[in-house]
Structure 1
């Protein structure tokens, strides 16, 4: 037994008072904890117990065991050595060890010890089962949980409220919601903890409708509810956009003076943000005396989900000035905002921060990075992150395939799709949208047909309207306009305006007036045509030599008051986002920008550029049309990028509309004249301009 004294007292020092204790109280736990501050103190007490033969007292040893668990938080080694030397440990000793293992997240070891307990014929008590069920919950160990449930019944604890609550939690955590509800319904006297366990189970499985439904039942039953209840219900209200119930809870919180509860107010912020009430959420956020990372993340996420991405990044910069470190949720929201704004440099800084802080590259965070790089036109960055992810799922593969397709790397996207199948990762319906888009960009018509047909045949995925639209794009891009039209007419579902608009764009590219006119008619039968539809039709007429019809369509736009949405282009320089609108002359640097634009236009004219005045705004006078097209937002942003970045630097632009023909032609020449790679993300796809050509092969 002397070997247990890991830290023996030095013979040169007097023995402390602890070792002279001759008698322990009946419950020595308090004394042990009061006298022990570290492992050395605990060793001295243990030595005293050996000398006084109190090691044979189960109560004393159980308290020493519990003290070892509490005082040595990083290891169970000493506690194990004590436990092994207890002659016949009872359920209390086993309970201490099981709780200690669970506290240290050694859930598997806890279950193994519980099995040993049963093998040694030690009967579990009412305190054993909640602990071991918690271990099963964490591990998702349903089979073991079911066996423990059977033992609970045999031991006569099936009516114990605490055990029933942990059973509900275990089954829900393992995805067995029906069984959890069966246990819940079998409880005659339900307290608030019982209701909370079932609500948390539904919330954990994202069954938000049932959370709200159960809460209404809870209210009818007359059972009071607490902050834990409201947090679950507010989360459900946010996911369901149930603003009415969310506001009712908000008023309850106000009336009952609960606004000091940080977790509750954070849930309220999240609910308002997800219900589209972002300014209300920000008002609550500003009133908080203290904000933890969850509160910051909820507000940043709220801005991101509302596509108020500049405000999301501004708030993130505010967060950086505090001592609150961002977590994975924060980073995912910030990366999304960066991807929407095309803020590559800011997103790169976020990636650097993730690596610097050694944050785990989870599937969620890794997928967000893959998506961010792809949406900023840096497909090499996407591939690099994807290849470094320790674990990937269908969403990670889908993000990469989509990114490759949108960036004009159709063949590579199909290669990754093939690799995905070889790894037995089952694609989902969104994956196929990316794969079919890749076929479209790569001009792989036959491959596209095969993949479309394989969806239902090989993967049991019925094509949605988006997949039919992709097939129309594949056929139309390849010039198979008549086949695309027949494909639409034979669709099993009613084609929507997006499908017809896809065909209309193909008719513009391939100058098919007849089907273009029919496509336009179909669009206006289902919804009012927008400016882009009229412009496409006008361009189709013009390309077919029917200039009068082209002018008539333009005049119709004027008569109906249909205005083209103002073009807006963004460029990020040194971490700051600059915004340009077509023919905007009120920005603080407009003089500098317009001077640079005029110089840029002069140089590309010398290289053969001729303005396409058909893309000028409708109300522009004939003499002003060339000036109008030269002041489109992407030209202003590109000119700004040319004068604000070193020679050879890639210029990256994000635009809210489809790139017009004139800007596309001009940007090709700019890339050649100024020896720059220019990446433009428009409403539909990426255009990588380099040395006078574009990755879209002049079809967009």
Structure 2
């Protein structure tokens, strides 16, 4: 027979070496003592000489040794298989298993087709082997055809066949079909339940994992460590702390704390449920920690926005000489992105290159996102171009990165290329596209894309898309149109939509609609300090100081505390934090002295302090000092005195940049000949030679 697969060179089939004494039944010798291809050569030669090769069981032993037990020997296995006159199902099964286990599932499918063409009937052991190959390839159509053959040959009642069917369908995304197979089984072993749990976990059906576990408990079915790991993963994704804690108690009661995988799953569950301190306590108590445990804890810190702790733990991981994996790198890059820690993230990128880590879609997209969120969008584009494969999220991150860095037109060009390449955009892509229109003042384009997403792509706008449209109209000064747009929305506007309109009212000094927006926000509740500050600033922008103070008074009466402005700057691998009018920094005396000099120099260049941005409780003679001590100005001053001339200064701020800081930073960039990149709550501002990338449109 002919098999269209590569064959091993025949010269290795003869050798002068001897094996003595040679047993009558060489099964044990072949399967247990044969450790290398050289050993197999010797035994194979004796099998040929003695005529044992014509014994099907001996031939199968040789096949099993070469195809499954020994590494990298599939070509040798094929050379043995080729000389068997009439291979039986067992011989085919061994080769199919070998191809699948050694990451050649396509060859397994080819061999199965050849088996059927040669009229060899598969047995109950053939189907689990070939279904695993289908699962690896996510070859649903072939898997369905094999399922039909299982029914035709009457082999569907075997538990191990049904288990692999469940696994195949689940891995191909057909979890509902997998569940039908599961429900149709009269007897279910623990491996069956775990196959179904694994299917739900892989496809992200977290609620189904929890529901199935509830059925399992009510059925008094024994579960094992594998079950609990699946359920703990689901608890973390769902925030189901109650069930997670029950499993923790069970682990304690059954003395299962010695399982590294189980405790790592507990750490991950607690971290994702917001109990980071509990996760860290468990982590610290672990007698040994592998890369998965370290990654779970670092990821927990990153996802709970404790990014400094995430980076600190990563440094500790490095000191412990634990090699990070892709999951670790993605979490670290995410933390660097939040903190604006460009230098740290660049080191991570360099580490990835040095270790020759594969630039997967997940890792590449995380790198792109990191660079974009640090204001280095050109680096983000460079990573994008080097990625061997990309998905819709990759394209979306690029669009969002360009939009937030003031390159709205370029973002729309990327969206156009995405369509040319027939990459189907999703709802998140359109948030990026509409944001590009918003930050670029592209009102007509924004209207067109908003209509197109449902008309041309079948994507119904969510509240986020309506919010983007309100932002597009509001930033352009079309306040009345934005207000009517909200009133005509087919879904109930939320606080973010009204807050977006209120922010535009502040910029364009529209008190009437500002008051209506604020009223809606107070009605929706709970109170948000930013809403009161915005409304107070709307009044202040038109000189209604008494009304502005009244709004601040309402805050005080209700016990609402203002979120303090905070700016971060990374220097020499350290993150420095500044608050407005704060003197906690160890170099504050030097910083405040530098601020005076900076203000004096930019005044000569035309800077006029906007005292409307000062603290409302500041006395008239204190207002100018108040605005000069905003957190971003302190951070910029520290950057100027601590870096060499010409160095780019990068700042991250938790709130929106105020008009005074924006005007001052433009002049600082010109007077001191520095590029200054400021990431605020909404977008990036790239200040260069007295001009901002936002064109004063933010």
Q: What interval of TM-score do these two structures reach, taking the shorter chain for normalisation? A: over 0.9
- CA 1:45–1:501 in 2, change beyond 3 Å: closer, same or farther? closer
Alignment of 1:495-644 (within 5 A): 495-527=493-525, 530-550=528-548, 552-554=550-552, 557=555, 562-644=560-642
- CA 1:425–1:33 in 2, change beyond 3 Å: closer, same or farther? closer
Q: Distance in 1 between matches of 2:362 and 2:122?
A: 40
Give the structure 2 partner of residue 456 of structure 1. Answer: 454
Aligned-residue offset at 1:579: 1.0
1:266-288 deviation line (CA, Å, top 9, x unaligned)? 11111111111111111111111
The question of 1:270 aligning with 2:276 is answered no
Give the structure 2 partner of residue 472 of structure 1. Answer: 470
Give the structure 2 partner of residue 383 of structure 1. Answer: 381
Give me the CA root mean square deviation: 2.1
Q: Does structure 1 retain, via aligned residues, the 8 Å contact 2:652–2:679?
A: yes
Q: Does structure 1 retain, via aligned residues, the 8 Å contact 2:31–2:64?
A: no
Aligned-residue offset at 1:346: 0.9
Structure 1 moving runs of 4+ over 6 Å: none
Q: Does structure 1 retain, via aligned residues, the 8 Å contact 2:15–2:45?
A: no
- CA 1:545–1:238 in 2, change beyond 3 Å: closer, same or farther? closer
- CA 1:63–1:612 in 2, change beyond 3 Å: closer, same or farther? same
In the comparison of the two structures, how many residue pairs are matched?
691
Give the structure 2 partner of residue 290 of structure 1. Answer: 288
Aligned-residue offset at 1:149: 2.1
Q: Distance in 2 between matches of 1:222 and 1:551?
A: 65
1:636-664 deviation line (CA, Å, top 9, x unaligned)? 11111111111111111011111122211
Unaligned stretches of 5+ residues in structure 2: 1-7
Give the structure 1 partner of residue 298 of structure 2. Answer: 300
Aligned-residue offset at 1:161: 1.4
Give the structure 2 partner of residue 25 of structure 1. Answer: 24
Which is worse superposed, 404-413 or 493-502? 493-502
Alignment of 1:93-104 (within 5 A): 93-104=91-102
Q: Distance in 2 between matches of 1:115 and 1:310?
A: 56
Aligned-residue offset at 1:118: 2.3
Q: Describe the SS at the equivalent of 1:687.
A: strand
1:399-436 deviation line (CA, Å, top 9, x unaligned)? 11111111111111111111112222222222112111
Q: Distance in 1 between matches of 2:545 and 2:253?
A: 69
Q: Distance in 2 between matches of 1:208 and 1:425?
A: 28
Give the structure 2 partner of residue 250 of structure 1. Answer: 248
Alignment of 1:320-399 (within 5 A): 320-399=318-397
Unaligned stretches of 5+ residues in structure 1: none
Q: Does structure 1 retain, via aligned residues, the 8 Å contact 2:479–2:504?
A: yes
- CA 1:688–1:249 in 2, change beyond 3 Å: closer, same or farther? same
Aligned-residue offset at 1:456: 1.7
Q: Describe the SS at the equivalent of 2:456.
A: helix
1:539-561 deviation line (CA, Å, top 9, x unaligned)? 43444354554455455556666
Q: Describe the SS at the equivalent of 1:456.
A: helix
Q: Does structure 2 retain, via aligned residues, the 8 Å contact 1:394–1:426?
A: yes
**Which of 191, 194, 204 is equivalent to 1:193?**
191
Give the structure 2 partner of residue 491 of structure 1. Answer: 489
Q: Distance in 1 between matches of 2:512 and 2:41?
A: 93
Give the structure 1 partner of residue 142 of structure 2. Answer: 144
Q: Distance in 1 between matches of 2:359 and 2:573?
A: 24
Q: Describe the SS at the equivalent of 1:571.
A: strand
Give the structure 2 partner of residue 692 of structure 1. Answer: 690
Alignment of 1:112-261 (within 5 A): 112-261=110-259
Q: Distance in 2 between matches of 1:287 and 1:632?
A: 43
- TM-score normalised to the size of structure 2? 0.94
Give the structure 2 partner of residue 447 of structure 1. Answer: 445
Q: Distance in 2 between matches of 1:525 and 1:252?
A: 45
Q: Does structure 1 retain, via aligned residues, the 8 Å contact 2:527–2:560?
A: no
The question of 1:61 aligning with 2:59 is answered yes
